[in-house]
Structure 1
């Protein structure tokens, strides 16, 4: 079995699958789904139905990772789950592409929803055990570096997704083309990662169990009793709430507020600016956090994200909004580079990494459920004129980011050092 004492896989190989999933979710959630949903249901209800669709997928993403992670821990294997999950994900993409290409109206929408459920099931089935690999295989003193590489590859995948969406929009390619691109860019990096990690990777030996675990798997209640894990979990929830208050509706923002004729292309450019900023700060943030600690980086990153969300409301023009998107990306990249390392440091038990990372993953996806009320709030506010809905959802996002910055102060400063002593 691979343990923390063995040489971990190369960081670029270990995180390759994150590149594919980043491309996958950016193009699907931020480009294809807003456009497809508006086509199915019409302009008047687009926010409500898009928010509901994202929330429906979040329910599956909320339940599945801890269950699959726990089973992966019991079997001591990761790769079979990644293989099956990727296969189901690809089936879901095929169903969504079929619905978008050949169907219309509410009948087409419900087939589209079915495909999205397959996508959510498969992706979460694969990423639950995959999420355990950094805390499981990488020593604590290198996790900032590995987390930074992961953030960089995620940002690169997102940038490629934005460029691909821009090219597809400019060339007016058939709607099935981006679905095929998503499938290929998901599958190829997954194969790179699966070939680069051992078949059996779970540290089963009791010597690998951290001292805080007492040589046994902690219950979920005991897991949340650990202060480091609890505060990291709550902090991640707040940052995710801020992200999903705005992210699904960027295309609508560009159309309604920025008055962009081709909202899809304009959103791709805005996303590219966010991602370029993320790439600049991703590796730097991770390496700084290995030396100075995780929390100072998050303080700066969260404040930048909150400021950008508020300033977008008063951006006088699209070029200014692009500059603010770049500024937001600098904060987001730094946060992402540290976030995974902070979560890995907070894991109290090496015998249940996949289950515990699956529970921590809930902090990423549970906030997606707020997309439904946020979408309804967006439509309600906009119905009152002057794009008031965007003022509401962007302001709420800023409040969540600020709350996350304040709450991360509760994370014990010795979480990182404690793991180094315990491993």
Structure 2
């Protein structure tokens, strides 16, 4: 690669430990599990009652997803241009913590529809801050980790995310059993998030983006060129399908536990189902990532997606809670394997090293964009259940399975080995 006159070659940044690099994902996963699957469903019921719980929970998730949809590419683009990652992560974490404080205040001190709007405002701050931080953070794996190690790093990331979710499930179980105040849950979330962020911020080097841009001018692709790059296009589509399947079911698990499995304490039952999924996923995350470095990403996804689709349908026919726990364990094996290679596959598909944060932010839209279906899916759930026979659950779980299968079929279009074509052109 030819340098411009006067541009010195920058030494490559040191490669941090995969555990340090992914620490912030641990705290983020802990936060989202407690918020999306335990605290928010229960608190929406307190604010608006049972009859409108699906609609208002869908509204809350859908509006929050708009922030997650729009913000990462914008912040990622800004991060690429100023050549900084860590200061933006620090600022985002600060806003995230403020949002948690607002949500905790609304949940513990306010009631009725007015309390719901304050709760929504806090949730928007959480979404803004977390996505502001994770946009530049998402660029660190493709930027710092060599391709041959990305499966390993993606596996560690998946395991830490699953471990954060597991700790969130345990925390929710303890808080529910001891009937602790709502505010304590938000203090706990803030503490875990802050500690995990500090570990990453102290252990990851700032990148050398300005030097890279001077060394290789003109290789930055616009958005149209990015989607014209076939590996990126198909990774984006297939990730969106898997996320669509996940968000067709995930927000309504607590309602499923109460309405279909007839559990007297749906929040506790949901925590146990989630812990079963997470424990099983931990068993396959590290293995799946390492295996994908040897045999390729796609075979792992074929198996993982098929298992997830079959288990999503099987949950509808679970005769009791214990069978549902067993099916959740099987689903977790597939989910963990998928998670272990997801980030590696996306990193492999990035076409240019000069815009990692922007491009990873756009790719991340494929995951958060489907959260918007929570609003129509919530309404569909309420409508279907009003027809009788838990039809609403059949509709949303069936849609989830269809999305998983379609994702498996279309991932065949992703090339197994991806090279940075734009970088090769300027070498």
TM-score (norm 1): 0.96
Q: 2:331 aligns with which of 328, 333, 339?
A: 328
User: Aligned runs of 1:60-75 on 2, under 5 Å?
Assistant: 60-75=67-82
Structure 2 equivalent of residue 20 of structure 1: 27
Higher mean C-alpha deviation, range 6-15 or range 357-366: 6-15
Distance, in Å, in 1 between the alignment partners of 2:283 and 2:208 is 32
Distance, in Å, in 2 between the alignment partners of 1:289 and 1:202 is 29
Shift of 1:7: 3.6
Contact persistence 1:301–1:330 (CA under 8 A): yes
RMSD: 1.9
Contact persistence 1:135–1:345 (CA under 8 A): yes
Q: Is 2:157 aligned against 1:154? A: no
Q: 2:345 aligns with which of 342, 348, 362?
A: 342
Distance, in Å, in 1 between the alignment partners of 2:272 and 2:78 is 41
Residue segments in structure 2 that go unaligned for 5+ positions in a row: 1-7
Structure 2 equivalent of residue 193 of structure 1: 200
Q: 1:171 to 1:208 in 2, by over 3 A?
A: farther
Shift of 1:22: 0.3
User: Aligned runs of 1:22-421 on 2, under 5 Å?
Assistant: 22-202=29-209, 204-206=211-213, 215-415=218-418
Deviation track 1:296-353 (CA, whole Å, cap 9, x = no partner) reads 0000000000001000000111001001111111111110110000000000000000
Distance, in Å, in 2 between the alignment partners of 1:370 and 1:3 is 45
Contact persistence 1:2–1:201 (CA under 8 A): no
Distance, in Å, in 1 between the alignment partners of 2:224 and 2:116 is 39
Distance, in Å, in 2 between the alignment partners of 1:196 and 1:50 is 37
Shift of 1:97: 0.5
Higher mean C-alpha deviation, range 199-208 or range 336-345: 199-208
Q: 1:86 to 1:258 in 2, by over 3 A?
A: same
Distance, in Å, in 2 between the alignment partners of 1:379 and 1:190 is 38
Distance, in Å, in 2 between the alignment partners of 1:292 and 1:169 is 43
Distance, in Å, in 1 between the alignment partners of 2:215 and 2:310 is 43
Distance, in Å, in 1 between the alignment partners of 2:363 and 2:159 is 21
Q: 1:80 to 1:206 in 2, by over 3 A?
A: closer
Deviation track 1:249-290 (CA, whole Å, cap 9, x = no partner) reads 000000000000011011001000000011000000000000
Q: 1:90 to 1:3 in 2, by over 3 A?
A: farther
Distance, in Å, in 1 between the alignment partners of 2:356 and 2:11 is 12
Aligned-partner SS, 1:77: coil
Aligned-partner SS, 1:259: coil
Distance, in Å, in 1 between the alignment partners of 2:178 and 2:9 is 47
Shift of 1:121: 0.3
Distance, in Å, in 1 between the alignment partners of 2:9 and 2:321 is 50
Shift of 1:206: 4.9
Shift of 1:5: 4.6
Shift of 1:202: 2.9
Contact persistence 1:82–1:129 (CA under 8 A): yes
Contact persistence 2:279–2:329 (CA under 8 A): yes
Deviation track 1:97-143 (CA, whole Å, cap 9, x = no partner) reads 10000111100000000000000000000000000000000000000
Distance, in Å, in 2 between the alignment partners of 1:371 and 1:3 is 46
Shift of 1:204: 3.6
Contact persistence 2:352–2:422 (CA under 8 A): no
Contact persistence 1:148–1:338 (CA under 8 A): yes
Residue segments in structure 1 that go unaligned for 5+ positions in a row: none
Distance, in Å, in 1 between the alignment partners of 2:190 and 2:120 is 18
Distance, in Å, in 1 between the alignment partners of 2:285 and 2:239 is 17
Deviation track 1:205-238 (CA, whole Å, cap 9, x = no partner) reads 25976xxxx8421000000000000000000000
User: Which runs of at least 4 in structure 1 moved beyond 4 Å after TM superposition?
Assistant: 1-6, 206-209, 416-423
Shift of 1:200: 3.9
Shift of 1:413: 2.3
Distance, in Å, in 2 between the alignment partners of 1:57 and 1:258 is 29
Contact persistence 1:136–1:203 (CA under 8 A): no
Contact persistence 2:21–2:200 (CA under 8 A): yes
